[in-house]
Amino acid sequence: MALVNKGDLTSVNNSLSYLETIVNENNSLINTINLFIANSKNELKGSAYDGVRNKLSLYIDALQKQNTICEVLKQNIMSTNNQMNNYMEEYNSLDDSNIGTVRAAINKAKSQINIINNMISGSTDSQYISELRRAIDALSKDVERLEKLLRKLEGLQPEDSELKEKLSSIVSDIANYKSAVSDIIVTSYV
């Protein structure tokens, strides 16, 4: 079951600033670490300081991987949001639990068109026939509108391959980040 509201899509896009904040903070930390490494290279000597610099390099690697995850996640969220916004067109809300109701409304309107067509074939009054044709036109427009809505509701399910590709990319980036964090933790006990 899927329920999509345009307002929700807007609020998700607005909350992406959190990911940008993480990247900015990480970049500030990376710059600070790089500055420390550059300044201490000539002044601090010995295996302890070399170990500290190596450890800091691991932190930089982990922070860069976290930045990559944030950027990929942000791009995927923005892309998905844009696709959903475009998909929704003029609809403010789409709820696929309404598929049965929409199908029933389409069938009812088509049934009414058939009944009116039978009434036309049995009538000779031109004014009456003209009114019936206007009713058919109105019902036909309703059927068109409802069929478009039905296609939208039925299309809310994402393509499996596209979704799997995006998830695979995110999972891969997260695995790389976890590996980098694991390297930091392991080296602190060695």
Tell me the per-residue pLDDT of 112-130, one tens digit each, with 9 for 90 and over: 999 999 999 988 889 999 9
Structure-block tokens of residue 133: 């044709």
At 70 the pLDDT is 86
Q: Which residues of the chain have a pLDDT value below 70?
A: 1, 157-164, 166-171, 176-177, 180-190
Of the candidates 3, 23, 52, the one whose C-alpha atom is nearest the C-alpha of residue 156 is 3
113's CB contacts (< 8 A; 6+ apart) are: 136, 139, 140, 143
At 50 the pLDDT is 82
At 185 the pLDDT is 56
182's CB contacts (< 8 A; 6+ apart) are: none
